[in-house]
């Protein structure tokens, strides 16, 4: 017979305290057994010689083996760690042996099945290919018919995620330490633009599967510009990055990094591996055509993370590529999701994962390379053209002529639809189709889409139909004689410039003589609207100071931190655009000119905006980094004073902003020149610093002006600002002293003597 007994009703007098938990009791009136042991696997084992023995089978899938020779005892079949669990107590001599065998077979079936399920649970899995895999996919992620996990396709600004649907528990109770874990995966990519990848992929462990607010491009589909770096992200990632992003303190465009809540890596190193036999480092290219394997091993006790990389099918190198102490206890929630994230930017790349293995508290099982799917074949354009020509030739007569005529007609239409020149292939970012831009801007006819007129062309707002990304499309005017020259300059320079304070050029299009440039959309427009439009809410001082420092940082990048020197030549408030957080970004590089470090600029044509031109630029027509510094000084005064460089409606004394500020500095009333709309909500020391720095940058002598690296150090407080020279002359005075070039000076800095004079050079009026 079988009796159901509550665990709380057992008498402790018959139980040895060393073998059963203190809260476990057995009623000695129910059965004559004196010793039981509750093992960790949930089986209460009988220890008394008077009853049959319950012992663990040597078979790992079995829980019990029964010695059925004894006849007068009770069996406690199962126990758990919960106090309300029920036990079944069976009296052996009141039940035929066949019934006992049936009971134990059923017990083995149910309990053994639970054991087998645990061994293949979510914390230990292997995917040798992903055909039929149960993963949560979003964005561009998909599983191909060949069993490849494809995270991104050949489309711009895409992101894709693939995660295990069930979260994993990484915390060791009572939630103090993190379990050790190990994973390995094989990945590869296919590029549409040879030699240029974008942007990479990452193995990720995250507290949530919701990445809807994340952006693509350099953020790898993990964060956006506002989320990046926040501890509330609870994201750990191993990034395989193929784009150089200086804003993330990256050293190159081919590296592996350990990321904690941010794309500024805790540790990173160029992609490669250390050979076991020589110990030498061998470089690898993450955009290579061959597949590669990554191993990630975390020791929860030592909090050490090792990341290893090698080409397939090389065995795992003994020395890891990265090894760092990483405490994940402050990062991981309980539970967490594991998987992959990837993104593309302006350059098209398809990212694939061929196989994946993961194990908690152990080493991930090896992948079977023979079972892994193959990466897609790389189509040879040369081979395709040979076949395209040879097949028609092999055909007879009329069929050959018709096919050749069709090929010729298609090529002619493509040639005239969108022209492609050599310099575009070498320097340009990826092209947009005219059809996409036409749809994005509603045909360039909707007035609501018109943002304004920039240098040489109109600017329209658009939403790309494929990615729903907001962009600004600049359409160069037909009447512009310098349209093509400006277009080439912008493509060559901006296409490769990347800085958080520069407006990013995403791509371009050429069709039937039309020139179109596609930029990041800046929702708050240009800075001059906030300075001079009375209907707009005035900017507070903290925002203005942040904008000034941001523009200075961007200009320093153009002058010193990029591979070539870029002279902007048209720095002014209307060319500073504000993003959603009112951060300043320098734009409109239509007048930019490139020249190598250490050489003189090869340009003598005067271009720029009245009021921002340095005296030597007006005289010689040659632009340098110091002429940019001069324009920046005028821009700084413009932002601090809320006045245009040349105010035609002001009194004669206030006509030229620079002279007016200089005169007030001499009188000791420098702060009186600040924008009256600031009221009393400003930091006097910062305002005085900005005004003095503006005067110093606008010094008539180029040698007396600081370079942009010094300017940034002054603004950040790393260096004290030197005193202004008492011999600082106004430009009106200098112009009268230099009679030879007096006319040139009054053009750039109109005074009461020449308020009506203009210039025939390419100088636009200040906006």
**pLDDT higher than 90, residue 560:** yes
Residue 376 domain-assigned?
no
Which range has highest mean pLDDT (66-75, 449-458, 557-566, 629-638)?
Answer: 629-638
419 falls in which pLDDT band (50, 70, 90)? low
Interhelix angle 684-697/541-556, rounded to 10 degrees, is 40
372 close to 354: Cβ distance less than 8 angstroms: yes
As to burial, measured by CB atoms within 10 angstroms (0-12 exposed, 13-18 middle, 19+ buried), residue 576 is buried
* The last residue of a domain, from among 119, 139, 167: 119
DSSP 613-636: --HHHHHH----HHHHHHHHHHHH
User: Cα(514)–Cα(40) distance, rounded to whole angstroms?
Assistant: 76
Q: Are residues 284 and 320 in the same domain?
A: yes
CA dihedral 296, 300, 303, 307 (to 10 degrees): -10
Cis status of the peptide bond prior to 248, with omega within 30 of 0 = no
Residue 243 domain-assigned?
yes
Q: How many CB atoms lie within 10 A of CB 637?
A: 25
pLDDT in tens, 307-356: 999 999 999 999 999 999 999 999 999 899 999 999 887 777 889 999 99
Structural domain count of the chain: 5
Q: Mean per-residue pLDDT for 285-294?
A: 90
Q: Are residues 483 and 607 in the same domain?
A: no
**pLDDT higher than 80, residue 112:** no
Q: Are residues 489 and 510 in the same domain?
A: yes
260 falls in which pLDDT band (50, 70, 90)? very high
Rg (Cα) of the chain, in Å, rounded?
A: 36
430 close to 193: Cβ distance less than 8 angstroms: yes
pLDDT in tens, 654-710: 788 999 999 999 999 999 999 999 988 899 999 999 999 999 999 999 999 999 999
Residue 507, classed as helix, strand or coil, is: strand
* The last residue of a domain, from among 119, 136, 164: 119
| CATH code: domain of residue 313 | 2.60.120.200
Residue 551 domain-assigned?
yes
As to burial, measured by CB atoms within 10 angstroms (0-12 exposed, 13-18 middle, 19+ buried), residue 211 is buried
Mean pLDDT check: name the lowest of 59-73, 504-518, 528-542.
Answer: 59-73
Residue 708 domain-assigned?
yes
Q: For the chain, what's the residue count? A: 767
pLDDT in tens, 179-219: 999 999 999 988 876 656 667 899 999 999 988 888 777 78
pLDDT on residue 143: 95
pLDDT on residue 296: 98
| CATH code: domain of residue 639 | 1.10.510.10
166 close to 179: Cβ distance less than 8 angstroms: no
Helix, strand, coil % (nearest 5) of the chain?
30, 25, 45
Q: How many CB atoms lie within 10 A of CB 696?
A: 23
492 close to 594: Cβ distance less than 8 angstroms: yes
Q: Are residues 431 and 550 in the same domain?
A: no
Query: Pick from 338, 261, 271: which is nearest to 298 by CA?
Result: 338
Query: Pick from 388, 188, 192, 393: which is nearest to 288 by CA?
Result: 188
Q: Are residues 36 and 141 in the same domain?
A: no
Residue 132 domain-assigned?
yes
659 classed as catalytic: no
pLDDT in tens, 346-364: 777 889 999 999 999 999 9
Q: Are residues 298 and 162 in the same domain?
A: yes
Q: Mean per-residue pLDDT for 712-727?
A: 87
pLDDT in tens, 520-538: 999 998 999 899 887 778 8
User: Cα(351)–Cα(343) distance, rounded to whole angstroms?
Assistant: 8
pLDDT on residue 200: 86
Query: Pick from 712, 747, 714: which is nearest to 732 by CA?
Result: 747
Q: Are residues 568 and 513 in the same domain?
A: no
User: Cα(462)–Cα(469) distance, rounded to whole angstroms?
Assistant: 8
Q: Which secondary structure element, helix H or strand E, spans residue 189, and what is its range?
A: strand 181-191
* The last residue of a domain, from among 57, 84, 119: 119
Q: Which secondary structure element, helix H or strand E, spans residue 110, and what is its range?
A: helix 97-119
Q: Are residues 437 and 406 in the same domain?
A: no
User: Cα(258)–Cα(324) distance, rounded to whole angstroms?
Assistant: 9
User: Cα(45)–Cα(58) distance, rounded to whole angstroms?
Assistant: 15
Q: Which residue has the higher pLDDT, 497 or 715?
A: 715
User: Cα(172)–Cα(283) distance, rounded to whole angstroms?
Assistant: 38
Mean pLDDT check: name the lowest of 393-402, 434-443, 622-631.
Answer: 393-402
747 falls in which pLDDT band (50, 70, 90)? very low
User: Cα(520)–Cα(85) distance, rounded to whole angstroms?
Assistant: 63
Q: Which of 253, 570, 588, 628 is catalytic?
A: 570
Q: Which residue has the higher pLDDT, 737 or 642?
A: 642
323 close to 302: Cβ distance less than 8 angstroms: no
Residue 249 domain-assigned?
yes
Residue 689, classed as helix, strand or coil, is: helix
Q: Are residues 505 and 532 in the same domain?
A: no
Q: Are residues 514 and 543 in the same domain?
A: no
Query: What residues make up the domain containing 203?
Result: 124-371
Q: Are residues 334 and 391 in the same domain?
A: no
**pLDDT higher than 90, residue 109:** no
DSSP 419-456: ---HHHHHH--PBPPHHHHHHHTGGGT-GGGEEEEETT
Residue 732 domain-assigned?
yes
Residue 208 domain-assigned?
yes
Q: Are residues 739 and 601 in the same domain?
A: yes
Q: Which secondary structure element, helix H or strand E, spans residue 99, and what is its range?
A: helix 97-119
């Amino acid at each position: 017979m079988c009796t159901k007994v509550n665990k709380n009703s057992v008498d402790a007098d018959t139980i040895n305290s060393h073998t059963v938990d203190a809260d476990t009791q057995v009623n000695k009136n129910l059965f004559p057994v004196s010793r039981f042991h509750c093992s960790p696997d949930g089986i209460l084992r009988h220890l008394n010689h008077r009853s049959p023995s319950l012992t663990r089978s040597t078979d790992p899938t079995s829980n019990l083996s029964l010695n059925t020779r004894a006849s007068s005892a009770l069996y406690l079949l199962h126990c758990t760690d919960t106090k309300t669990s029920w036990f079944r107590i069976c009296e052996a001599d009141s039940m035929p042996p066949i019934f006992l065998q049936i009971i134990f077979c059923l017990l083995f079936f149910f309990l053994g099945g639970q054991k087998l399920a645990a061994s293949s649970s979510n914390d230990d899995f292997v995917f040798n290919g992903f055909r039929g895999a149960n993963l949560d996919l979003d964005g561009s992620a998909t599983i191909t018919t060949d069993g490849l996990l494809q995270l991104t396709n050949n489309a711009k600004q895409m992101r894709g995620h693939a995660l295990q649907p069930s979260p994993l528990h990484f915390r060791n109770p009572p939630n103090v330490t993190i379990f050790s874990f190990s994973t390995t995966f094989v990945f590869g990519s296919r590029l549409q633009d040879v030699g240029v990848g974008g942007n990479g992929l990452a193995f990720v462990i995250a507290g949530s599967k919701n990445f809807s607010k994340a952006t693509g491009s350099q953020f790898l589909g993990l964060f956006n510009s506002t989320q990046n770096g926040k501890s509330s992200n609870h994201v750990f990632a191993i990034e395989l990055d193929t784009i150089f992003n200086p804003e993330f303190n990256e050293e190159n465009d081919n590296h592996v990094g350990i990321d904690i809540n941010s794309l500024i890596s805790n540790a990173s190193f160029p992609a490669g591996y250390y050979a076991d036999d020589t110990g030498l480092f061998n470089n690898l290219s993450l955009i290579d055509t061959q597949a590669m394997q990554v191993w990630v091993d975390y020791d929860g006790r030592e909090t050490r993370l090792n990341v290893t990389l090698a080409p397939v099918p090389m065995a795992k190198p003994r020395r890891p590529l990265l090894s760092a102490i990483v405490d994940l206890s402050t990062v991981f929630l309980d539970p967490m999701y594991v998987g992959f994230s990837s993104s593309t930017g302006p350059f098209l790349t398809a990212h694939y994962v061929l196989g994946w293995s993961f194990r908690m508290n152990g080493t991930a099982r090896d992948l079977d390379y023979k079972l892994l799917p193959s990466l897609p074949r790389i189509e040879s354009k040369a081979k395709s053209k040979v076949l395209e020509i040879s097949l028609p030739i092999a055909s007879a007569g009329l069929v050959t002529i018709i096919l050749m005529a069709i090929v010729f007609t298609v090529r002619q239409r493509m040639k005239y639809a969108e022209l492609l020149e050599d310099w575009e292939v070498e320097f340009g970012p990826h092209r947009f189709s005219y059809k996409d831009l036409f749809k994005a801007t509603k045909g360039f006819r909707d007035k609501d889409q018109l943002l304004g007129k920039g240098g040489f062309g109109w600017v329209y707002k658009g939403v790309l139909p494929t990615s729903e990304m907001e962009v600004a499309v600049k359409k160069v005017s037909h009447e512009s004689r310098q349209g093509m020259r400006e277009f080439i300059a912008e493509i060559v320079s901006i296409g490769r410039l990347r800085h958080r304070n520069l407006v990013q050029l995403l791509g371009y299009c050429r069709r039937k003589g039309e020139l179109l440039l596609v930029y990041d959309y800046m929702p708050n427009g240009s800075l001059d609207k906030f300075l001079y439009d009375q209907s707009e809410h005035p900017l507070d001082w903290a925002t203005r100071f942040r904008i000034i420092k941001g523009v200075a940082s961007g200009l320093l990048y153009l002058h010193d931190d990029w591979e070539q020197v870029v002279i902007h030549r048209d720095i002014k408030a209307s060319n500073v655009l504000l993003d959603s957080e009112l951060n300043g970004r320098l734009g409109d590089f239509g007048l930019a000119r490139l020249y190598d470090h250490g050489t003189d600029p090869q340009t003598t044509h005067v271009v720029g905006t009245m009021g921002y031109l340095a005296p030597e630029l007006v005289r010689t027509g040659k632009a340098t980094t110091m002429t940019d510094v001069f324009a920046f000084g005028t821009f700084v005064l413009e932002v601090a004073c809320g006045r245009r460089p040349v105010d035609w409606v002001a009194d004669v004394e206030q006509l030229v902003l620079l002279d007016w500020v200089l005169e007030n500095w001499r009188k000791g009333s420098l702060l009186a020149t600040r924008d009256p709309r600031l009221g009393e909500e400003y930091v006097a020391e910062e305002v005085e610093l900005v005004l003095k720095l503006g005067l110093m940058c606008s010094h008539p002598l180029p040698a007396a002006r600081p370079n942009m690296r010094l300017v940034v150090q002054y603004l950040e407080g790393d260096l004290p600002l030197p005193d202004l020279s008492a011999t600082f002359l106004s430009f009106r005075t200098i112009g009268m002293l230099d009679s030879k070039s007096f006319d040139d000076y009054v053009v750039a800095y109109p005074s009461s003597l020449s308020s009506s004079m203009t210039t025939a050079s390419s100088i636009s009026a200040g906006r």
